[in-house]
Amino acid sequence: MIEVRHLQKSFGRVHALSGVSFAVPPGQVTGLLGSNGAGKSTTIRIITGYTSPDAGWVRVGGALASHDAMRVRRSIGYLPESAPTYGEMSVQSLLRFRASLQGLRGKARKAAVGRAIDTCVLGSVRRRRVGQLSKGYKQRVGLATAILHDPPVLVLDEPSNGLDPSQITETRSLIRRLAEGRTVLVSSHILPEIERTCDRVVILAQGRLCAEGDLKELLAGGEHELVAEARFATPASRAVALDAAKAIDGVQRVLPREMDGGVARWRVGFDPSTITEPELRHTLGALLAKAGAEVRLLERERVSLEHLFLKLMEQGPPSEPEAKPAEDAA
């Protein structure tokens, strides 16, 4: 679990972060989004202990970064942007070195290096110099160094940066595998990647928090609405079904729209305290089947992350930063 509260950081006159707060729950992959200069890298660097905030605090796995920096750093596996590393070293010797920095030695170090090589599929290049590897392999080496000490928290800054589509797919599945039982924070510019990889997102703009939450919830626009698309045999059966849908207990509204080929598209708003989404889906499905309709779609309406992101960027960050003292960390 990562908790970030009221972070503030300035570089000269530039306010990189102005009261940013969010949480990264365990067992999930959380995406950190934002345009250039939004404060993503600064946030990540504060979480990993590379730099310190001017105000605010970070807690990782219950340990406060400002008070127990070593414990926090030990619990984090970090992949910086562009996976910078020592090009003159072989993959194996680099991993050994990184394992030593984590305090591993002897058999534990050997086992950790072997495990990381296996997990990141680096066996074929273990003796090659890192500087001679392709971008994709370098990125894998970076991931391998991040997971060497089996950290409960992974922080990955632009893990798909510069990779080709097949490498992106490999990296995505690797991150999903690594996420099992871990807290993972991924920063990326590639929104479709975040959409496919992450369970939650944190969106920053101009050093402020724009949005935070479950990705599906955010993409659903925070509204409780189902979208149903069905082809009806006759207009009469459609009208009957529409009335029946409006009469379902918990349904607040049904906004119908005619589409080509006799297909109707309904947006069904509901009160989740009266009827849950699965219950409504079941009831509505039964109702449409009874009306003899061919159901083409029955699910929560989703907008793309790109659409949401652009909308939030257009709106801009909240005008007032959260101003809270750092003392509440204790």
Closer of 78 and 232 to another protein (Cβ): 78
Nearest to 18 by CA among 289, 321, 250: 321
Q: Report yes or no: 112 and 150 within 8 Å, Cβ to Cβ.
A: yes
Residue type, 63: A
User: Contacting another protein (CB under 8 A), which of 48, 139, 187, 197?
Assistant: 48
User: Contacting another protein (CB under 8 A), which of 25, 27, 52, 271?
Assistant: 52
Segment contacting another protein (CB under 8 A): 31-39, 86-94, 171-179, 258-266?
Answer: 86-94
Segment contacting another protein (CB under 8 A): 20-28, 49-57, 217-225, 289-297?
Answer: 49-57
Q: Which of residues 54-73 bind another protein (CB under 8 A)?
A: 70-71, 73
Q: Distance (Å, rounded) from C-alpha 142 to C-alpha 150?
A: 14
CB atoms within 10 A of CB 254: 21
Dihedral of the CA atoms 116, 118, 124, 127 (nearest 10)? 30
**Residue 26 burial (10 A CB sphere; 0-12, 13-18, 19+):** middle
Closer of 3 and 157 to another protein (Cβ): 157
Q: Which of residues 94-113 bind another protein (CB under 8 A)?
A: 97-98, 100-103, 105
Q: Write out the two tokens for 17.
A: 């972060």
User: Contacting another protein (CB under 8 A), which of 8, 42, 43, 85?
Assistant: 85
Q: Distance (Å, rounded) from C-alpha 176 to C-alpha 131?
A: 27
Q: Does residue 89 interact with another protein by CB under 8 A?
A: yes
Segment contacting another protein (CB under 8 A): 48-56, 261-269, 278-286, 296-304?
Answer: 48-56
Q: Which of residues 109-148 bind another protein (CB under 8 A)?
A: 145
Nearest to 246 by CA among 232, 267, 220: 267
**Across the strands, what pairs with 185?**
30, 155
Closer of 45 and 238 to another protein (Cβ): 45
Binding site for another protein (CB under 8 A): 45, 48-52, 70-71, 73-74, 76, 78, 80-82, 84-86, 88-89, 97-98, 100-103, 105, 145
